[in-house]
Structures are given as C-alpha cells and as structure tokens.
Amino acid sequence: MNALFNQIQSAWQWLSAAAHWQGPDGIPTRLLEHLEYSAFALFFAILVALPLGLFVGHSGRGGFIVASLANSLRALPTLGLVVLAAVLSTGDPTVPVLIPVALLAVAPILVNTYEGIRQVDPDLRDAAAGMGMNPWQVLLRAEIPVALPLILLGLRTAAIQVVATATVAAYAGLGGLGRYAIDGLAVSDYPQVVGGAVIVVLLAVVVQLLFVALRRLVLSPGLRNSHDRS
C-alpha cells in the first residue's frame, strides 16, 4: 500500500509541476505529437484494411488469406518492427517508424470488417438484391450498416493498439508520450516514467470512451442488441 501511495504521490508531483506543461518536452506538445502520429497511422491502416475487408467479406473470396494474414500480423513483435524501421532508415525516423505502427493496426480492422460483412444474414442480402438494389447499394445500405458493430470494434481495437505501439516506438526515436518513459528510464527518473505511463493510460481510456460514444452516435438502435461483447 505504501508503494502505491508513493507512486501516486510522485506521479502527481511530476504531473502537477508547471515546468512539465510547457516547451517542446511539455505534456501538451507530447500529447499533440502522440495524437498526430496515432491519427496518421490509423488513417493509413484504415485506408488499406477497410476496403480490403469490405471486398473480401462482400465477395467471399480470399477469406482464408485474410485470416492467415491477420494471424501473422498479430505474431509480429512491435518493438522489433519499429527498431528495424529505424535501423534501416537514414535521417529522421518519424515516418519510417510510423509504417510498422500502421501495419500492426491493419489486422484488427481487416479481420473485423471481413467478419462483420461475412456474418450478414444471407436472407438480408437476398432481400436487398431482390428489391432492386444494385451491388453497391447492397453493400452501402444493407451490409455495412449491419456489419457496423464489428467494424467499429475493429476500429476501436486498432486505435487503442496504435496509441500503445506509438508509445513503444519512442524507443526507435519517435516523439510523443513514449518519450517520458524512454527518457525517464535512461536517467532513472521514475516520477517521469510513472507520470508518462499515467498519461498514456488516460489517453487509452479516453480513446476507448470516444469509441463508446461514437457507437452510440452512429449505430442504429435496431442493432444495439447485437454483439454485446463489444
């Protein structure tokens, strides 16, 4: 209990110190950096994974490849990939390091989008086509809305993962919130390490909550009952 108290106290002292809230190493700057990197990586992951997942789910072709690909991506070690990107690059490592960060977010989006579309009731697809929807309309007006709970779950998982990987990527030279941990560990400044960790945890929780809110906002009440696990 004592250790917990000390930990909270030292983290709080570090977080509440005015000096840590300004300048290029200040919390607002690092947080903004972290958000920027995360958004960038997530954007590219979505760009690749969402259309691919939609296509494979809709056409039913290549499902096995998607499953195996996602499994392989899950097995890749984050730290190894970001370090490899940094070691192979010359100059500013920021963009090269963000590539594996985005790559690792591909799996959850791909798998959940694919599964979501695949699980759409065949009767529903049949009814949609039978009423005169063309294939695009079937996808946009029937399949995607019904698959939305799983697609959102995939996006949420990917977003949380990106926030986490971007933290680890600080070791390979990326800015953002991970810097506090890496730099703090290097000089044994534990209040900074713990303070940084606390901010990262808070950010992850906020992202999680944002997705809960997004789900409330965009999901049809007719679908609220499905996929309760998410």
Partner 1 sequence: MSGGEPLIRWDWIGSHAGYLAGLAGRHLYLSLIPVVFGLIVSVPLGIACTRWRWVYPPVLTSANVLYSIPSLALFLLFIPYTGLFSDLTLIIPLTLYTLSVLVPNVVDGLRQVSAPVSQAATAMGFGRLRQLLQVELPIAVPVVIAGVRIATVSSISLVSVGQLIGNGGLGVLFTDGQQRIFPTEVIVGIALTVVLAFAADAVLVTVQRLLTPWARTGRAAA
Partner 2 sequence: MSRLITFDGVTKRYPDGTVALDDVSLECATGEITVFVGTSGGGKTTALRTINRMVEPTSGRVLIDGRSVLGSKPAELRRGVGYVIQQAGLFPHRTIVDNIATVPRLLGWDKKKARARSYELMERVGLDPAMGTRYPYQLSGGQQQRVGVARALAADPPIMLMDEPFSAVDPVVRAELQGEFLRLQSELHKTIVFVTHDIDEAIKLGDRIAVFQTGGRLVQVDTPEKLLAHPADEFVSGFVGRDRGIRRLSFVPAAELPLRSDVVLPETASVADARATGEPWVLAVDGTRRPLGWARAEDLPDSGALAGLRLTDPGRTFQVGADSVRTVLDAVILSPSGLAIGVDSGGGVVGVTGHRELADTITAT
Give the residues lining the site for partner 2 (CB under 8 A): 121, 123-124, 126-134, 137, 141-142, 145-146, 148, 220-223, 225-226
If one asks whether residue 78 binds partner 1 (CB under 8 A), the answer comes out as yes
If one asks whether residue 84 binds partner 1 (CB under 8 A), the answer comes out as yes
Q: Which of 72, 127, 210, 214 binds partner 1 (CB under 8 A)?
A: 72
CB 227 to partner 2: min, Å: 12
Q: 3-class SS at 19?
A: helix
Q: Answer whether 104's CB lies under 8 Å from 81's CB.
A: yes
Please report, in angstroms and rounded to a whole number, the separation of the first and last CA atoms in the chain.
Answer: 34
If one asks whether residue 75 binds partner 1 (CB under 8 A), the answer comes out as yes
Of the pair 35, 185, the CB lying nearest partner 1 is at 185
Q: Which of 18, 90, 123, 225 binds partner 1 (CB under 8 A)?
A: 90
Residues 6+ away with beta carbon under 8 Å from 50: 109, 113, 151
CB 135 to partner 1: min, Å: 30
**Rounded Cα distance, 139 and 136, in Å:** 5
Q: Which of 50, 86, 105, 144 binds partner 1 (CB under 8 A)?
A: 86
Please tell me what DSSP assigns to residue 174.
-
Of the pair 62, 145, the CB lying nearest partner 2 is at 145
- Name which of partner 2, partner 1, none residue 28 binds, using a CB cut-off of 5 to 8 Å depending on partner kind: none
CB 127 to partner 1: min, Å: 27
Please tell me what DSSP assigns to residue 142.
I
User: How many C-beta atoms surround the C-beta of residue 141 within 10 A?
Assistant: 12
Q: How many CA atoms lie within 13 A of 134 on its CB side?
A: 1
Q: How many CA atoms lie within 13 A of 6 on its CB side?
A: 4
> Which span sits near partner 1 by CB under 8 A: 17-25, 54-62, 123-131, 199-207?
199-207
Residues 6+ away with beta carbon under 8 Å from 154: 49, 53, 108, 109, 110, 111, 112, 113, 116
Q: Tokens 């009814």 identify what position? A: 127
Return the closest-CA partner of residue 114 out of 48, 46, 47, 67: 67
Q: Summarize as ranges the residues that interact with partner 1 (CB under 8 A).
A: 3-4, 6-7, 71-72, 74-81, 83-84, 86-88, 90, 160, 163-164, 167-168, 171-172, 178, 181-182, 185, 190, 193-194, 196-198, 200-201, 204-205, 207-208, 229
